[in-house]
Amino acid sequence: MSVARATYLEERCKSALNRVANGGPLPYAWTINPYRGCAHNCHYCFARAYHSYLDLGIGEDFARRIVVKTNIGPVLRRELSSERWAGDPVAMGTATDPYQPCEGRYRLTREVLLALSEFRTPLSMLTKSTLLVRDIELISQLARGPGATVAMSIGSLDDSIRRLIEPGTPPARSRLEVLGRCSRAGVGTGVLIAPILPYLTDSEGQLNKVVEACAAAGAEHVTGVVLHIRPGIRAHFWPWLQQAAPSVYARYISLYAGRSHAPRAYRATIAERLSRACAMVGLAGRPERLMPQPRAGAGTQLTLAV
């Protein structure tokens, strides 16, 4: 399944730094998103709901009508130069991917990285894209200075599953190759195994293979997140799942039963499987949250887990 050609809606933003509401439950306060919408077209993505705030659809519009914040570089520099800016860590990739295909044309993520380097601001990056390879040298410089880490999001090594659920993304093994290059460049690395899809990618054998591949790529830690089905995406996700994977549709309806999260007992089972897989390869696992943390001599560590 391919992604239709996208239309880019260029706009001028008033602010580049997004403050997490009330500090939120997550231990970082700021995010940066150069784009809204994402050509990766991950059918489970919670950020689809944000498109409705723009009077755009959460289905095809999310992957085909991409908002581009063309002036984000100068706006960010203005904000970082303010006397009120304390140099707090920022996170990228928490909503839509900063390295989706249009980054090759607009280069806004690179502008952001240059500004963060100039103003010595720590960064945590999450992506599914191999385009990050373009900026490894810059990210490595950040890692040696104020601090930077990279995490790749990988749900499965099965390419047929990838083409079904996130058709605009590169293969998982290609992402791991880029992550390995980051590791060899001295950048702290991790993998977000997400989403773990009940009855599709959650078996012990499947998770073992992913964890083994992460360890071989040089990841310092892995984290797993079981699929969330948030209210804002249900109108897209349920009809898509019924058509794309009818053999498991009824089981999903039963498992989630109107909830956003799978039952605690199911999530505990997955956590145990991941813990065993990590122990077999000597890899660190993490609790379920996004958590940039300073670490001695390096920078901010992005922790994402089940």
Do the domain assignments include residue 78? yes
Q: What angle do CA 64, 51, 303 make, to 5 degrees?
A: 100
User: What local confidence, expressed as pLDDT, does residue 197 receive?
Assistant: 97
Do the domain assignments include residue 306? no
User: What local confidence, expressed as pLDDT, does residue 171 receive?
Assistant: 98
Do the domain assignments include residue 121? yes
Do the domain assignments include residue 136? yes
pLDDT > 60? residue 178: yes
Identity of the residue numbered 302: L
pLDDT > 90? residue 40: yes
Whole-angstrom distance, CA of residue 195 vs CA of residue 189: 18
Do the domain assignments include residue 170? yes
pLDDT digits (tens, 9 = 90+) for 275-293: 999 999 998 776 554 333 3
Do the domain assignments include residue 1? no
**Total-model pTM:** 0.89
pLDDT digits (tens, 9 = 90+) for 99-132: 999 999 999 999 999 999 999 999 999 999 999 9
Per the structure, the count of domains in the chain is 1
Confidence of residue 26 (pLDDT cuts 50, 70, 90): low
The CATH number covering residue 44 comes to: 3.80.30.30
Domain interval for residue 63: 7-301
